[in-house]
Amino acid sequence: MATRVRPSSKRCAVIGGSGFLGRHLVEKLLERGYSVSVFDIRQSYELPGVTFHQGDLCDEQDLLPALKDVSLVFHCASPAPASDDRGLFERVNIQGTRIVIQSCLKAGVQKLVLTSSASVVFEGTDIKNGREDLPYARKPIDYYTETKIQQEKLVLEACDQEKGFLTVAIRPHGIFGPRDPQLVPILVDTARRGKMKFIIGDGTNLVDFTFVENVVHGHILAAERLRSDSPICGKPYHITNDEPIKFWDFMSEVLVGLGYAAPRYHLPYSLVYGLALLLWLLALILRPLVSFKPTFTPMRVALAGTHHYYSCDRAKQELGYKPLVSLKEGIARTVESYPHLRQGA
Ligand SMILES: NC(=O)C1=CN([C@@H]2O[C@H](COP(=O)(O)OP(=O)(O)OC[C@H]3O[C@@H](n4cnc5c(N)ncnc54)[C@H](OP(=O)(O)O)[C@@H]3O)[C@@H](O)[C@H]2O)C=CC1
Ligand SMILES: CC(C)CCC[C@@H](C)[C@H]1CC[C@H]2C3=C(CC[C@]12C)[C@@]1(C)CCC(=O)C[C@@H]1CC3
């Protein structure tokens, strides 16, 4: 009778490994002696020690070869939050995550670490030092977040210590760092269009921004602590820099670091939110005739004008987490990594 070879605990797969967070995770795993199988809809780099599998995670036949002989899977693939394709979010984040779980079970994977998001509890109003026991948002800020909630529930509910399939979810917030395709590029684009002159509200709202290497650290700790007798099975963990900062101070530091002026004129939050809502409605009504994407969406105004920062005490106590890179150093390294986005470049 053929005996099944137990996969090596140093062999893992990263679904979404071509993306911003995924690639940083892959690089750190290689440094720590793992061999990595990357599964993504696109291949964006080549590295020794990495086997690439290109395909759609919604297709089990595409996915299964990437999970062969793998004991640990990180799932950090998602369509970009800026997409307004509801069908795509539903297909990839909900149906696709079901396929990921099924495929892990079929392939004999023992551990699944999901990249969720702290926004699964955010409804557009203040959250100060939010803990993991806050209820899921009943009115999530957008459809992306709605599907991230469903995705997290699916993964955590699949945890089965008796069967030996262990799951955990990492909830990062405001990931930034070198190669981030969203935060800094959107910010610089807004500045270049002369729209970064205003501070929404009084500018004192605190937000978590998390340097990408700290997020990676949280994922690896969770994976390595995930054992059948460990208290972390089936639970979510906030991973932040543990240094909430005023949203507008963070934006200003990045802008000034890249040679742009910091925003200085204040506008009332409710006025900007109301205008953004109006614009959003207008865009919806006019969609069959003209298509435009407003910079100031209600979701973005809520993100820019409310407190939303989270406690990572649970991760500190149960995962042994401590941020490795301070906010100051993270911002400096990020600014340095975008010479092409400097003023005048
Ligand atoms: N960035 C942030 O601030 C935060 C991110 N997160 C979560 O972290 C994770 C990683 O985010 P981030 O690195 O920023 O995102 P990226 O878009 O950079 O990476 C996601 C990767 O997944 C790929 N992908 C998308 N759909 C599929 C599919 N059907 N099959 C296979 N691969 C697919 C993407 O390809 P393509 O680019 O071609 O779509 C991309 O390479 C996501 O789950 C996100 O929800 C959570 C909180 C904050
Ligand atoms: C969850 C957050 C901590 C991380 C936010 C990521 C993005 C949603 C933000 C990155 C750049 C931000 C930004 C704005 C909103 C939120 C971001 C897109 C504004 C559009 C808000 C209104 C402005 O005055 C301009 C801002 C540009 C940058």
69-84 confidence digits (pLDDT tens): 999 999 999 999 988 7
Q: Which of 42, 54, 76 to mutate to test the pocket of ligand 1 (most atoms within 8 A of CB)?
A: 76
Atom of ligand 1 nearest to the CA of 148: 45
Distance CA 265, CA 319 (A): 42
pLDDT value of residue 4: 47
Provide CB contacts within 8 A for 196, sequence distance 6+: 187, 190, 251, 255, 260, 261, 263
φ and ψ of 286, to 5 deg:
-85, -5
When pLDDT is averaged across residues 107-129 and rounded to a whole number, the result is 97
Residue nearest to atom 1 of ligand 2 (CA): 174
- Please answer whether residues 312 and 209 qualify as being in contact, where contact means their C-beta atoms are separated by less than 8 angstroms: no
11-180+209-241+310-324: CATH topology is: Rossmann fold (3.40.50)
4-18 pLDDT, tens digit each = 445 567 899 999 999
Is ipTM strictly over 0.95?
no
Q: For residues 151 and 294, which has the higher predicted lDDT (pLDDT)? A: 151
CA dihedral 281, 287, 288, 290 (to 10 degrees): 120
Q: Where exactly are the structural domains of the chain? A: 11-180+209-241+310-324
Distance CA 190, CA 193 (A): 5
Annotation says 144 is catalytic = yes
**Ligand that comes closest to the CA of residue 272:** 2
Catalytic residue (choose from 144, 237, 309, 321): 144
Q: How far apart are the first and last CA of the chain?
A: 65
pLDDT value of residue 1: 43
140-153 pLDDT, tens digit each = 989 999 999 999 99
Nearest to 60 by CA among 116, 113, 15, 102: 102
28-72 pLDDT, tens digit each = 999 999 999 999 999 999 999 999 999 999 999 999 999 999 999
- Please answer whether residues 76 and 19 qualify as being in contact, where contact means their C-beta atoms are separated by less than 8 angstroms: yes
pLDDT value of residue 39: 98
pLDDT value of residue 238: 98
Atom of ligand 2 nearest to the CA of 175: 4
Distance CA 276, CA 288 (A): 20
